[in-house]
Structure 1
């Protein structure tokens, strides 16, 4: 038989068919179930050994990488474990993490202010009772001696993170709590009823130096100035109402306290009972991931108030140079980029302290003209006696709001650090704490000069005790 007598050749590769996608997957259904169980077991062990790491901003990324590193090596020896198989592995790991965060503990933070649980009538009733309890909880009169003493005897949520840092930072917190003094700055809001809407006046006062004007150019002042604006933007965005509850003391740990920026009190809102923490950013990048100190602050607030959720709101406000620039950028309420805009009336009192009056978010241009006239007359009247300085025209360039859930597992496994630190504070308030004072520059220079006067080769050593902050000079 000659070659020409052969029939047409058939490429057998063309005849190979795949019945379903399941045939080419590395992990079948049973393997997925088995691997998921293994993942969940290893995750639980990992968290128990790395409980402090939950507070770190990169926790979820580190969590994923660590579990993968522990588990993937057993598959890499298989020549059939291809890149596609590894992608399957990653997908199963991600699904397992979702399951872990639903059953064992919540995520460190969500990517938005989402609704994770629907409020039942029973839940609403419980929240109503808890908010009433918080509202009626005894507190000293603001700015009284008892009020300052009360706050000085608390590790507040905003500085609690220092208890989980290095020895130098712990030392700083201990010194702060032992070194009793009045705060440098105080703020409070007044509400003036104006028509159908409320007008907020922000008052910022110096308490220790009443004759010295406030520095309005600091990032601290910027954050305080725009806090009412952030509250109004939050209320407008989520159609809810925020209420201030003052400084609240923990029921069990009396040395812990929290001053949340507010709590949702609208029973018709799906966010009813959710706390609010605000950070008004000047230079830092906003990425939607709470920094460690902010995450710890929110956990302390939720534990103190016995509430399960907190919205973390970050805002970046930009001020226009003039009213003309404000007018040229979009409409009266929105910029060309659909960023919300607004106006703050800035006054000074006789001592030079700033007073801010805030235009309601949805007030239109015609309403504002009448409102502005009324506010100028009222604030500069004999009753108030303020001097108008200027109007501040702003826009919210970045509005980032993410949900953080209460993590009782983290708190229960870390509260001992707070107990131990406060025990040190109580002890050293009696025995003495000045060894923890920051080293002054002139003392350091004197030690350096003394060191320079020593003969070369004497073996003089400087050692810094990070716990006490003291510098010791020793000679070999």
Structure 2
């Protein structure tokens, strides 16, 4: 009688096929599962000594325990996801959304509130929350708005997930703090992705780094705390726009090359990919009826289509009478995906600093004279910084003065 070799995948498939409705009670059926598998794979035989038999039992038991723990985590995350989906939240960039952001510290401003942001000081943040500046789009922010959806579609394609969007979420018990995550994975994809948060950056100029920049790490820790979640994928995507449609057509994925960069299912896709095995496609920029001419909205087709399919898609919107400003053919040239874990101790160390920031904000808001002093202080710092000329104390050996 031949003894069959059992694998981890065999054990998982057997449990999923024969115990599909008792995932949370797997440990109660552990001995049954072990005995059944030992018999099915003919492990109990005259060819198995006591050491072998005990080792096989140990192997099956560890897989059952691991799977049981995975299901436990999955159902906990699924519950948290469903609770978040029940929240009544203001729509992104709506007047209610802006008002909520104005009265609390948000995760995206966390680094500035701690005076650890390169782009805005703590004082400037306080002043802007009291005297809001009108929102003015610039090429860098508009690029991010335009291509965030492409990055989301790409993420979904390489992870097998579906992203749910959320507006501004206030902290349930710490009302002076809130967050607007780019998205959260639902429960229809791989188990390990359930309720995993997604934070996207599409920098047009900033150099990519393998590590997560500190100010973005602070943002994600704040987001995870607000949503009571454990993980966030930090996705950086570099995109470029083709000069012409011909350039787009000539950038073709060679399916004969043995690409194994993402996953097998992805690598089997041929259409809508560059020679670097990364997505390419097209977007439509248009102006909604009643909007100002500079206030652009965007349309996105599915990924991985032929250029003929994309041209047909564009033609459909032309026929519908959309006020199309331009179409842009784009490609992803690089991406970095980093998994960030929640750090509860780090957050706890920053709570008092958040409260201090909020107290200062309230004090300036209720005292116009102090607010004017703050404004003068900000202006003086800007003027001083503008007039500063850096003169090194000692020139490096390779420096020459003509």
TM-score, structure 1 as length reference: 0.57
Deviation readout 1:237-257 (Å, 9 max, x if unpaired): 111111111110011210101
SS of 1:342 mapped into structure 2? strand
Corresponding residue of 2:283: 344
1:402 aligns with one of 315, 333, 338: 338
Deviation readout 1:318-366 (Å, 9 max, x if unpaired): 1000101111111551222223211112223462122211121122344
Corresponding residue of 1:243: 164
Offset at residue 284 of structure 1 (A): 1.5
Measured at CA, do residues 389 and 431 of structure 1 come closer, stay the same or move farther in structure 2, by a change above 3 Å?
A: closer
Deviation readout 1:103-148 (Å, 9 max, x if unpaired): xxxxxxxxxxxxx999723322222221222122233466665433
Corresponding residue of 1:158: 108
Taking only aligned residues, the RMSD between alpha carbons, in angstroms, comes to 2.8
Measured at CA, do residues 118 and 365 of structure 1 come closer, stay the same or move farther in structure 2, by a change above 3 Å?
A: farther
Task: State whether structure 2 residue 310 is matched by structure 1 residue 368.
Answer: yes
Corresponding residue of 2:296: 354
Offset at residue 271 of structure 1 (A): 1.0
Measured at CA, do residues 403 and 118 of structure 1 come closer, stay the same or move farther in structure 2, by a change above 3 Å?
A: farther
In 1: Cα distance, 2:209 partner to 2:338 partner: 10
Bigger Rg, structure 1 or 2: 1
1:422 aligns with one of 358, 375, 383: 358
SS of 2:331 mapped into structure 1? strand
Offset at residue 310 of structure 1 (A): 0.2
In 2: Cα distance, 1:347 partner to 1:394 partner: 17
Corresponding residue of 1:29: none
- 1:276-315 superposed matches below 5 A: 276-315=198-237
Higher RCO (C-alpha 8 Å, min separation 6): 1
In 1: Cα distance, 2:349 partner to 2:324 partner: 52
Q: Gaps (5+ residues) in structure 2? A: 1-65, 254-270, 388-402
Corresponding residue of 1:50: none
Point out the structure with the larger strand share.
1
Tell me, yes or no, if the aligned pair for 1:124 and 1:267 is still in contact at 8 Å.
Answer: no
Aligned residues: 294
In 2: Cα distance, 1:238 partner to 1:272 partner: 11
Q: Gaps (5+ residues) in structure 1? A: 1-115, 186-213, 381-385, 449-476
TM-score, structure 2 as length reference: 0.67
Measured at CA, do residues 359 and 296 of structure 1 come closer, stay the same or move farther in structure 2, by a change above 3 Å?
A: same
Tell me, yes or no, if the aligned pair for 1:148 and 1:182 is still in contact at 8 Å.
Answer: no
SS of 1:362 mapped into structure 2? coil
Measured at CA, do residues 302 and 136 of structure 1 come closer, stay the same or move farther in structure 2, by a change above 3 Å?
A: same
2:187 aligns with one of 266, 275, 280: 266
